Structure 1
Amino acid sequence: MHVFIMVAGVFTGAHVWQETVARLVAAGSSAHAVPLTGVDPSRPATPTHVGLETHIEDVIAAIDAVDVTSGQEIVLVGHDYGIHPVLGAADRRAERVARVVYLDCGMPQNGVPALVAVPDQALRAQLTEHAEAGEREGVLAPPAPDEWERWGSTAGVGEAALERLTALATPQPLGTLLQPLRLTGAVAAVPITGVLCARNGASIDLVQRLVDFGDPALAVLTEPQVTFFELPTGHWPMLSCPAALTDVLLRAAAGDGHRLRPVGDDAPVPAHLRPFPVDVPELPRDRQGHVDLYVPDGEGPRPAVVFVHGGPVPAGARPRPREWPTLVGYARLAAAEGMVGATLDHSLHDVADYERAAADIAAAVELVRADARVDADRIALWFFSGGGLLTTDWLTQPPAWLRCLAASYPVLAPLPAWGLVGSRFQPARAVEQAGALPVVLLRAGRETPEIAATVAAFVTAANDCAARLEVVDVPDGHHGFETLDAPEETVPALHHAMRSVVTHLTS
């Protein structure tokens, strides 16, 4: 029999697990929601004396109360912030824990405080200042009814449940977010399961893509003892779909779940490293700093198309994005049309890096424009995937030399878990200032619902302000369709879009 010990996230107490606990018990398991000191009403405490270590001790006490000699296996479940005390406790009681379930949360590391997982980036910056100043007293006020989205998608949570969540929310002691997590490494031996909530912006496919990028730090996710599940809901599945969550937890405890494909000689070629579907000339690259140029033969100067990869892409990914077959293929396709094609690397390694990435792109564009083989007054920018948010700066009062902006399967609004609600990276707002700038949008018909919603909002905004938007549809295309879908479906759309961009550059 399994014993589920569950720990809630910020501002919430054991009450959020009420229905999940009841369903687990009805299924024949034992289940306990841990009341956290200084957060749950049943364990009041002065916030000054409450830190992450306090909550780790709360979870350890719950573990020690289980009689494992009777054959009961302990499964720890951490949601949101709750994964931090769960890992701290599992590290000190590794021999007693059968599995740790990461419920729509990050992967905390030794020595790192929970504040790094705060999704609201502005608030995270404020908390970081507190931590650097050694200030750990006080509390963080719980969200107002209309502020929960800043902490994660509320998709699927009914109005009554959201009202109850707000009514029972309590302040979070700052020490729980600012005190670093300390791990000995013992917890690494404990099997783990990740439960991802798709409506909050996470998916198994996304994690597989991150692993495929080749960052050694993510290789641990492909080990046999690591499994994954995905729920089509927001950040609070215990409120939005407790029945589905219960089923997933029971299956996780049994060792079921999806296992990620490892990167290696025997593994299939990852999507981003598969051949470009268009037969293009094998032009050599001309490397200039963090930019690669593909220049056709003949006299110049020529218009240029700068291709901006998506992300986040882990810093350790190899090969680097500017060398990926898809980006190189696009650049050579532009060169076949008489344009200079350019690929680049930028610093979008995490969702917190958009500012840095935007600066990298601006520098790359100026490097391209300064090249004697390039017509500095005829430039197009072409963005992909998560790079779609980086269109914002170029849509906002575009410079005269920017003749066209294109985007393939872009993310055109921050996803809920990215914590960018108040950021400036909002393309749907920026398009109102695009003026006469032509925008060519390649839209995947089988895009994930979360990303498709951002594209739909952008198209609506563009139409409302009469922007010069051309939509090139790939009806049966998926996100990253160039190497995922049949060439007969994708190649005509690629040629169509490229011809449109070239026309805007040369007219």
Structure 2
Amino acid sequence: MTTFVLVGGAFTGGWVWDGVAERLREAGAVVLPVTLNGGPEAGLGTHVEELTALLDRTDEPDVVLVGHDYGIHPALGAADRRADRVSRVVYVAAGLPSDGDPALLLVRDEEVRARLGHDTSPLPPPRGRAWARWGSLDGLTAEDLALLDRLAVPQPARTLTEPLRLGGGLDRVPAAAVMCTGDGPGVDVVEMLVRTGPPRFRKLAGPGYAFLELAAGHWPMLSHPAELADLLLRAASGEGRRITLGEDLPSYEQQEFLLPTPEVPYERHGRLDVYPPDTEGRWPAVLLVHGGPVDADRVPTPRDTPFYRGYARHLAGLGVVGATVDHRLYALTDYARAADDVTEALERLRAHPAVDPDRIALWIFSGGGLLAAHWLASPPAWLRCLALSYPVLAAPPGWETVESRFRPVDALAGAGPLPVVLVRAGREHPAFAATVEAFLAAAGKHGSDVEIVDVPEGRHGFEALDRTDASRDAVGRAVRAVLHRVNGAARPAGTVAPPPDGTTTS
């Protein structure tokens, strides 16, 4: 007989699971909905201890620990301590916290994140439509919202600010995730992160993790109790989609760049590496900005991989200064810090004796694309070109914790005549491709100067995944487009380029 321990999200208690619990009991399961300590001094550690004690009092051998939203943090902490008592952990509309992560990292409300930086008093629960600041209300009725309003309680601040502490026991516990696609990403986005994201996501590949989808918002236990109960039963029995890595995992760490890369020496200036041409003078410069988030302890760091070194050396061989930067985009909440790192790198680059400070291009890749918002909103005269390779240009599902100022689609209104070179992968991840299409629609509306380099059969990160003649040709065309812009005449101040005519280089 399976025992389900159900842990709700912020502001809620065991009552939020009533509809799910009824259906699980009808299926023959033992169900223990949990209401955690709501006292003002309670912290994440308090809740982990409560769940651990509950597991110690439970006689049934097959315990499935389910965590919704914030509830996954204490669930993981307890499962880590009692790995021999937990047969499976199930994530429901929850993030993927690691050791050392506070729940605050996954809070979508910017005001709440800012407040908890200095205020330790309990958070009052939202009311009515304000619940949308914590997750999608998709599927909730007026009665559901009224229930939340009536029974929700303040959330102790330390439950969100204390870091999760894991000791290795959790590695022995299988896991499943119910992905609520009306609230965040689906399994395809998880697979994308496993294949092209930070290495920490690779643990999601293999038999230890299973994924199920539910077309629901952030509170499926209220909007879809029968469907969620069915998925929990399936998860408990080991059902769900597994992700495998296959043989085509990109190897940015080992693979050489796919275009000629002369052995150009570089100079290291803090987070900035500079690759000047082997000639005297002051030259235009291109700063290459890596994507992310990346792991903080990744070795080699992005600028030390053949991928970014190759781009920089190739540019230097063509007579411009290539440069790379290791910015600190380690989590979705780090975009402000990463933006500061890029700004500092640009200042250092413009001050370099080999650089013409009035002829600079930014070339941003992948998840770094959101950093383009600042430069699009108010581009300085010395920025001659902004290049974007398979970028993320708006917050896709699951990225709601990114600060709202990092939205290139919205920032285009201020771009004026700034030329943009967009490298578009034809086989892009759908969630990312949607942001590119939104960007191009906004570019048409604002009359932005966008040159598209299409790679019809290219995937996200095609330089590493698709080492074909078509990929080499696409990189060559993109490089030529950037050099044409950064070497050209100064942009006229106060003018807007005519609407793009749809011309695509392909």
Check whether TM > 0.5: yes
1:273 paired with 2:253, answer yes
Identity of aligned residues (%): 44
1:203 paired with 2:190, answer yes
Query: What is the CA-CA distance between 1:109 and the residue it aligns to?
Result: 3.8
Judged with a 3 Å threshold, the aligned counterparts in structure 2 of structure 1 residues 341 and 53 are, in CA distance, closer, same or farther, namely closer
Query: What is the CA-CA distance between 1:118 and the residue it aligns to?
Result: 2.6
Code of the residue aligned with 2:123 in structure 1: it is L
Count of aligned pairs: 480
For residues 424 and 46 of structure 2, the distance between their equivalents in structure 1, rounded to whole angstroms, comes to: 49
Of 424, 440, 443, the residue aligned with 2:405 is 424
Query: What is the CA-CA distance between 1:339 and the residue it aligns to?
Result: 2.2
Judged with a 3 Å threshold, the aligned counterparts in structure 2 of structure 1 residues 438 and 183 are, in CA distance, closer, same or farther, namely closer
Of 328, 334, 339, the residue aligned with 2:309 is 328
For residues 90 and 96 of structure 1, the distance between their equivalents in structure 2, rounded to whole angstroms, comes to: 8
| Structure 2 match to 1:284 | 264
1:86 paired with 2:68, answer no
| Structure 2 match to 1:107 | 97
Residue-by-residue CA offset, 1:378-428 (whole Å, 9 max, x unaligned) = 111010111111112211221111110011111112345445465322212
Query: What is the CA-CA distance between 1:77 and the residue it aligns to?
Result: 0.9
For residues 12 and 418 of structure 1, the distance between their equivalents in structure 2, rounded to whole angstroms, comes to: 23
1:433 paired with 2:411, answer no
For residues 465 and 102 of structure 1, the distance between their equivalents in structure 2, rounded to whole angstroms, comes to: 42
Q: Contact 2:397/2:431 (CA < 8 Å) preserved in 1?
A: no
For residues 303 and 432 of structure 2, the distance between their equivalents in structure 1, rounded to whole angstroms, comes to: 23
| Structure 2 match to 1:98 | 87
Normalising by structure 2, what TM-score? 0.81
| Structure 2 match to 1:479 | 460
Q: Contact 2:462/2:471 (CA < 8 Å) preserved in 1?
A: yes
| Structure 2 match to 1:44 | none
For residues 448 and 66 of structure 1, the distance between their equivalents in structure 2, rounded to whole angstroms, comes to: 44
Judged with a 3 Å threshold, the aligned counterparts in structure 2 of structure 1 residues 178 and 355 are, in CA distance, closer, same or farther, namely closer
Query: What is the CA-CA distance between 1:149 and the residue it aligns to?
Result: 4.4
Which secondary structure state, in structure 2, belongs to the residue aligned with residue 359 of structure 1?
A: helix
Code of the residue aligned with 1:86 in structure 2: it is A
For residues 251 and 229 of structure 2, the distance between their equivalents in structure 1, rounded to whole angstroms, comes to: 33
Which secondary structure state, in structure 1, belongs to the residue aligned with residue 119 of structure 2?
A: helix
Query: What is the CA-CA distance between 1:494 and the residue it aligns to?
Result: 2.3
Which secondary structure state, in structure 2, belongs to the residue aligned with residue 342 of structure 1?
A: strand
Residue-by-residue CA offset, 1:311-337 (whole Å, 9 max, x unaligned) = 111110011101223222322332343
Query: What is the CA-CA distance between 1:64 and the residue it aligns to?
Result: 5.4
Judged with a 3 Å threshold, the aligned counterparts in structure 2 of structure 1 residues 298 and 287 are, in CA distance, closer, same or farther, namely closer
Which secondary structure state, in structure 2, belongs to the residue aligned with residue 275 of structure 1?
A: coil
Of 285, 292, 298, the residue aligned with 1:317 is 298
Query: What is the CA-CA distance between 1:377 and the residue it aligns to?
Result: 1.4
Query: What is the CA-CA distance between 1:438 and the residue it aligns to?
Result: 0.4
| Structure 1 match to 2:209 | 227
Q: Any gaps of 5 or more consecutive residues in structure 1?
A: 39-46
Q: Contact 1:204/1:228 (CA < 8 Å) preserved in 2?
A: no
| Structure 1 match to 2:430 | 449
Judged with a 3 Å threshold, the aligned counterparts in structure 2 of structure 1 residues 397 and 85 are, in CA distance, closer, same or farther, namely closer
Q: Contact 1:52/1:85 (CA < 8 Å) preserved in 2?
A: yes
Q: How does 1:19-98 map to 2 (within 5 A)?
A: 20-21=20-21, 24-25=24-25, 28-36=28-36, 38=38, 47-48=39-40, 52=44, 55-56=47-48, 59=51, 63=55, 66-68=58-60, 72-90=61-79, 93-98=82-87
Code of the residue aligned with 1:143 in structure 2: it is P
For residues 178 and 463 of structure 2, the distance between their equivalents in structure 1, rounded to whole angstroms, comes to: 26
Judged with a 3 Å threshold, the aligned counterparts in structure 2 of structure 1 residues 476 and 243 are, in CA distance, closer, same or farther, namely farther
Judged with a 3 Å threshold, the aligned counterparts in structure 2 of structure 1 residues 475 and 182 are, in CA distance, closer, same or farther, namely closer
Judged with a 3 Å threshold, the aligned counterparts in structure 2 of structure 1 residues 340 and 427 are, in CA distance, closer, same or farther, namely same
Q: Contact 1:80/1:106 (CA < 8 Å) preserved in 2?
A: no
Judged with a 3 Å threshold, the aligned counterparts in structure 2 of structure 1 residues 61 and 462 are, in CA distance, closer, same or farther, namely same
Of 145, 148, 156, the residue aligned with 1:174 is 156
Q: Any gaps of 5 or more consecutive residues in structure 2?
A: 489-506
Of 391, 394, 397, the residue aligned with 2:378 is 397
| Structure 2 match to 1:301 | 282
For residues 481 and 152 of structure 1, the distance between their equivalents in structure 2, rounded to whole angstroms, comes to: 33
Code of the residue aligned with 2:153 in structure 1: it is P
Q: Contact 2:25/2:31 (CA < 8 Å) preserved in 1?
A: yes
For residues 276 and 145 of structure 2, the distance between their equivalents in structure 1, rounded to whole angstroms, comes to: 60
Of 175, 199, 210, the residue aligned with 1:193 is 175
Query: What is the CA-CA distance between 1:2 and the residue it aligns to?
Result: 1.9
Residue-by-residue CA offset, 1:457-506 (whole Å, 9 max, x unaligned) = 22222221111122333333332222223524433332222222111122
